[in-house]
Amino acid sequence: MKTEESIIRTEELVNYRRYKDKVIISGLGMIIFGAWSVVKVYMIYFFNAEEYLSDLAELKSGDEKQIAFILLTVLSIWIFCWHFYVGITAVQEALKPKGKVAYIIFGWLLFLFTLFSLPSYFTSRPASKMTDTIFASAFSDLILSVILGQLIYYSSAMKKIIKDGN
């Protein structure tokens, strides 16, 4: 006959496996969203620079545009690396826990930046300038916030189960 403690441990094990799978999926989602963020930035730059980046449209010389492009590239690489670090570290922690918490902190920061940037999609433009692209970008950032929320919650829950089990 199973004791109450073994039943609780079995339920914790089931929850742990469930959380582990969700952290892996969320981590991979973070990497994909990081790549999408880079693609989105370049699509805006090359196809709608004047409409979305009014400061960029004011640049006159070729040198200024090259500097802006280099800064955009550096920013894109930084954004991708941030998403990649959070995603890959979450996957690694789910597969082989080592007690890392920096990815959760960086995930929280990214979550807050994403969440606080959502209103800017709608407040920085007049209603006549609202396009499907703006709504799609806002929706993708909302989905990113959900993925980050799940990653943070389930990573913390996994760590709690490991801590309580020791």
Global pTM? 0.80
Q: Which residues contact 150 (CB under 8 A, 6 or more apart)?
A: 22, 26
Alpha helices in 53-131 (DSSP H): 54-57, 62-95, 102-117, 120-123
- What is the per-residue pLDDT across 116-161, written as a single tens digit (0 to 9) for each? 888 887 776 666 566 777 777 888 889 999 999 999 999 999 888 8
